[in-house]
Structure 1
């Protein structure tokens, strides 16, 4: 049974930023052919949007495991869970980050959840996950 599920969709400003491929492709292809310029602009922008949507990772907590992007770990190997927002989240993502940690962070999502890994065979001390709902994710991981 799924206790928590979230997809880290791109922020709206990313769609606007990728729209810059439209004038760029028009600038290159309009001198060749107006129709080709318009077609290339539409196809390139649609491709950028499709890639943004397909690349959005999913975080899911079930009764048995935590799935974050392509990584999976049994809940029996999950230790302490801590949430961070604002300056605390910036500290976790930056100066306080352990280089051995496994990351699923997105710059457009401020809050993070730090998930301790208790597997003695795993060199990864913790996972750091961006999430828009840190309390709900932490609650699902703790089994509350």
Structure 2
């Protein structure tokens, strides 16, 4: 006779476990954004790849076409690979290749339009860590609270600065 599990008893090794909660390390990030180039930059990338093929037209049209397509593909792949990623996960804020624990950060400040232009222009902080892309007109600034760190703040371009600031605050509360 098959044994049915008692719904009031704790789960045993025989019963399947419910899916794990999303609080363990290695979980899905709270925020992730790749700062891909703007449409105008993509046009330039494709044009530069095509120019290399165009140079070979006098030698052989088929060769020029093949080399042009290969160069365009390589240029697109490089543009994607060299686009920095902003990510908040596992109690860390990752900005490109740089990482910092969110516990060492102050409250994120969302910057748009004029505030953003001033932050990356006339109010530029030479000791801050910058990840700025010219085609993104908003971002955040987060002060570094670690007195041993010579970096004063992190300044990052983001198309979704409100979501990024919320993710940093959420990670700070969880830490």
Which bracket does the TM-score occupy, shorter chain normalised?
over 0.9
Aligned residue for 2:95? Answer: 68
TM-score, length-scaled by structure 2: 0.77
CA distance in 1, matches of 2:48, 2:120: 30
Runs of 4 or more off by more than 6 Å in structure 1? none
> More strand by proportion, 1 or 2?
1
Instruction: Report 1 or 2 for greater relative contact order, CA contacts < 8 Å, sequence distance ≥ 6.
Output: 1
* Paired residue secondary structure (2:126): coil
* Paired residue secondary structure (1:20): helix
1:138 counterpart = 2:169: no
1:35 counterpart = 2:35: no
- Unpaired runs of 5+ in structure 1? none
Q: How does 1:95-110 map to 2 (within 5 A)?
A: 95-110=122-137
**Distance verdict in 2 for CA 1:22–1:101, change over 3 Å:** closer
2:143–2:153 CA contact under 8 A, matched in 1:
yes
Q: Displacement of 1:19 after TM fit?
A: 2.1
Over residues 98-129 of structure 1, what are the superposed CA-to-partner deviations in whole Å (9 max), with x where a residue is unaligned? 11110111111110100100111110000001
* Paired residue secondary structure (1:19): helix
- Unpaired runs of 5+ in structure 2? 1-26
Q: Would you say how many aligned residue pairs link Structure 1 and Structure 2?
A: 144
CA distance in 1, matches of 2:79, 2:147: 36
CA distance in 1, matches of 2:32, 2:95: 10
Of 31, 34, 37 in structure 2, the residue corresponding to residue 4 of structure 1 is 31
* TM-align CA RMSD: 1.5
TM-score, length-scaled by structure 1: 0.93
CA distance in 1, matches of 2:54, 2:96: 37
Worse-superposed segment, 20-29 or 126-135: 20-29
* Paired residue secondary structure (2:151): coil
